[in-house]
Chain A
Amino acid sequence: MSVDTSNIAKEGGGVFGWLDRRYGLTPLVEFMKHKEVPVGVHSMFWYYLGGATLFFFMMQVCTGSLLLLFYQAGESTSYESIRFITTKVPFGWLVRSMHCWSAHLMIISLVTHMFSTMMLKAYRPPREMTWVTGFILLSLALGFGFSGYLLPWNELAFFATAVGTDSMKAVPGIGDFLLQVLRGGTDVSINTLHRFFGLHVVILPLVMVGLVTAHLLVIQRQGMAPPQGHKTAPKGMRFFPDFALRDLQLWLMCLIVLASLAVFLPYGPHIPGIEWELGKKANPLAPAYPGIKPEWYFLWIYQLLKEFPAHFLGMEGSQAAVLLVGLLMGAWAMMPWLDRRAQRDEASPGFTDIGAATLIFLGFLLFKAWDIGGGGIGDKLPDPVLTARICAFWWLGIASVATALRATVLHQRYFLFTAATALQIALHGLLGMQYLAAGGIALVALVIGLLVLRSRGQAVPEVRS
């Protein structure tokens, strides 16, 4: 489309007029004026989470660029330059702290955004690609976290990277090649740091910006998803200025929260997986120390790696665990195609329940990875049986309260997946069964339950509030 420049010699209209005559901005302004956000039967809150994630990403770009001015990647400089930034450079501690906090807050808002999209079935046609691009953005965000973790070149970073990259070998056929490409050798070394540095500051940001643009463009083109059951939104709110101002207000609140956390807890809340004390410099010849854990959003994978025995179904345990994670993530990415009812714009209570069950599944693994209730203090290692029992009490309690709320407040009637997850937790935590054996029994019970539901005709319809 070319712009009509016949009236370019005209004058007046100020800066806008000057630009408008050259670039034809009026249609764009008209589009903005008429852009609306659907106001549905559910809370508007969920519509702001994507914007909050974008805000934290922009904070990452700003603080990351500032860190780049002092950070020097290298065997004898990485750790030292981070120490210099946090101890000598004026406000260096604040910039690093904001970068770390913003990374965690970005993952939190991203995951919440994804779950809200899932629960509201906003991925249903025609918005499948919004879901898929969003899923890839989540993978990239995890890649950012993983690659950034190594850059301070401290002990924690070294072993987290050794374990994280080692799982690459589970990829059939090209696992060893991928492992070597990622590490720049057979072992984690300073070559790995150089590769991760390149990934973290150039390759991932470029891909991320491209994909964020694509994600926003498809949303602009299609508008936000109206509530389920409505082809168009019952009513709309103008994007400019009504929604944009609310968005801006949220960004301001995010900034206040971020700055407060960064100032008052500059090294994180001291929860394993959410702390960034520099600690000791990485020494490839030092043994791993007890209590070493990856970042909290990888803890469920870390715990699964622990739950698998040395060999499972003819595979090495870690291969089987990585395969399971791959299958679960793949199924999650394919959600818009798996959810047939949502495709027909019908209520799909089964998938709402899958969302709830997924949260319980992940939460239980997270608590176990934190050894909650295991009694590990000082040199004493936590007791795995006791940990499983206490974590089971926690998550069976949380699941009961959540299910009661869903039944009474949201009038939902489908809890099969939640029940299967709770069964696994109860068998494992309360009866002391192996995690995988309990999972197998829960899976069989789930399949029987689904078959019974199918033989009865169809799933119990979800009554929407």
Chain B
Amino acid sequence: MPTNDTEPVRTRRSLLDLLLGVGFIGFAASALYPVLRYLKPMASAGPGGPLKLTADEVGKLAKEHSIITRLGTGRVLVFEDAQQNLRALDARCTHEGCTVQYVPGDSVIWCACHNGRYDLDGRVLAGPPPRPLALYGCTRDPDGSVTIQPPKKGES
């Protein structure tokens, strides 16, 4: 069969090589996919619904002005500001994920890992954090108990 020099020669051998190559890739993918799925953690419950603090947590909050609690898969910092208003913020620093703390003396939220500072609404004041902390809803019920509401979608 006459062929042009510039065109690659297509033979049965090259077709077989191509099929073999596709077969190898398919084989590797079919072996790799289950491993990757196995390694990826299963989906967790998400932020979860409203949370009522336990009596112990309310007691600790009154004594130490702040506590950190779990809400779904997240960590929430609940604290009482100088005017004794309750507030709740995502406790995970937006920089590198360390747990932040409330510093009552300076009225700031501070991350000790890389010296990030936020105001009491979670806005960045200084340091490397790129985004504000998500604001959670926090209400004190007439019976003295405290309820935390996760931020609505788009707020976090």
Chain A residues with a Cβ under 8 A of chain B: 159, 162-163, 165-167, 177, 180-181, 183-188, 191, 284-292, 302, 305-306, 308-311, 316-318, 381
Taken together as a complex, chains A and B put the C-alpha atoms of A101 and B39 apart, in Å, by 32
Known pairs A286-B99, A288-B99; A308 contacts B128 (CB<8 A): yes
Taken together as a complex, chains A and B put the C-alpha atoms of A86 and B115 apart, in Å, by 33
Please, could you name 25 A-B residue pairs with CB atoms under 8 Å apart, sorted by A? A159-B98, A159-B113, A162-B99, A163-B98, A163-B114, A166-B97, A183-B41, A185-B41, A185-B44, A185-B73, A186-B73, A191-B41, A285-B70, A286-B99, A288-B98, A288-B112, A305-B114, A305-B128, A306-B114, A306-B128, A308-B128, A316-B130, A317-B130, A318-B128, A318-B130
Taken together as a complex, chains A and B put the C-alpha atoms of A174 and B74 apart, in Å, by 22
Residues of A within 8 Å of B68, CB to CB, are 285-287
CB distance from A320 to the nearest CB of B (A): 10
The 4 closest A-B pairs by CB, nearest first: A287-B101, A166-B97, A288-B98, A316-B130
Residues of A within 8 Å of B124, CB to CB, are 310
Task: Determine the interface band of chain B, counting residues with CB < 8 A from chain A.
Answer: 20 to 34
Residues of B within 8 Å of A381, CB to CB, are 115
Q: In B126-144, which residues have CB < 8 Å from any A CB?
A: 127-130
Taken together as a complex, chains A and B put the C-alpha atoms of A180 and B42 apart, in Å, by 10
Known pairs A163-B96, A287-B99, A288-B98; A180 contacts B128 (CB<8 A): no
Q: In B84-142, which residues have CB < 8 Å from any A CB?
A: 91-92, 95-101, 111-115, 124, 127-130
Complex contact A310–B97 (CB within 8 A): no
CB distance from B65 to the nearest CB of A (A): 13
Taken together as a complex, chains A and B put the C-alpha atoms of A216 and B3 apart, in Å, by 50
Complex contact A162–B97 (CB within 8 A): yes
CB distance from A3 to the nearest CB of B (A): 35
Cβ-closest chain A residue relative to B95: A318
Known pairs A159-B98, A288-B98, A288-B112; A309 contacts B128 (CB<8 A): yes
Interface status of B52 (Cβ within 8 A of chain A)? no
Known pairs A287-B68, A305-B128; A163 contacts B112 (CB<8 A): no
Complex contact A317–B128 (CB within 8 A): yes
CB distance from B99 to the nearest CB of A (A): 5
B39, B41, B73, most chain A CB atoms within 10 A: B41
- Chain B 60-91 interface mask (CB, 8 Å, partner A; 1/0): 00000000111001010100000000000001
Residues of A within 8 Å of B113, CB to CB, are 159, 163, 288, 292
CB distance from B48 to the nearest CB of A (A): 13
Residues of B within 8 Å of A289, CB to CB, are 112
Complex contact B101–A163 (CB within 8 A): no
Interface status of B153 (Cβ within 8 A of chain A)? no
CB distance from A305 to the nearest CB of B (A): 6
Interface status of B13 (Cβ within 8 A of chain A)? no
Complex contact A310–B73 (CB within 8 A): no
Interface status of B40 (Cβ within 8 A of chain A)? yes
Residues of B within 8 Å of A311, CB to CB, are 130
B41, B96, B98, B124, most chain A CB atoms within 10 A: B96
Complex contact B100–A287 (CB within 8 A): yes
A163, A286, A302, most chain B CB atoms within 10 A: A163
CB distance from B64 to the nearest CB of A (A): 11
Residues of B within 8 Å of A191, CB to CB, are 41
Taken together as a complex, chains A and B put the C-alpha atoms of A318 and B73 apart, in Å, by 23
Contact of A181 among B39, B73, B98, B127 (CB under 8 A): B39
Known pairs A177-B40, A287-B99; A310 contacts B129 (CB<8 A): yes
Complex contact B73–A166 (CB within 8 A): no
Q: In B26-71, which residues have CB < 8 Å from any A CB?
A: 39-41, 44, 68-70
Residues of B within 8 Å of A180, CB to CB, are 40-41
Residues of B within 8 Å of A290, CB to CB, are 112
Taken together as a complex, chains A and B put the C-alpha atoms of A286 and B102 apart, in Å, by 12
CB distance from A366 to the nearest CB of B (A): 16
A167, A285, A311, most chain B CB atoms within 10 A: A285
Complex contact B130–A310 (CB within 8 A): yes
CB distance from A160 to the nearest CB of B (A): 9
B39, B73, B113, B127, most chain A CB atoms within 10 A: B113
Residues of B within 8 Å of A181, CB to CB, are 39-41
Taken together as a complex, chains A and B put the C-alpha atoms of A370 and B10 apart, in Å, by 65
Cβ-closest chain A residue relative to B70: A285
CB distance from B89 to the nearest CB of A (A): 12
Contact of A284 among B75, B77, B114 (CB under 8 A): B75
CB distance from B94 to the nearest CB of A (A): 9
Known pairs A181-B40, A310-B124; A287 contacts B130 (CB<8 A): no
CB distance from B119 to the nearest CB of A (A): 15
CB distance from A313 to the nearest CB of B (A): 13
CB distance from A182 to the nearest CB of B (A): 9
Taken together as a complex, chains A and B put the C-alpha atoms of A184 and B114 apart, in Å, by 25
Taken together as a complex, chains A and B put the C-alpha atoms of A227 and B113 apart, in Å, by 46
B73, B97, B128, most chain A CB atoms within 10 A: B97
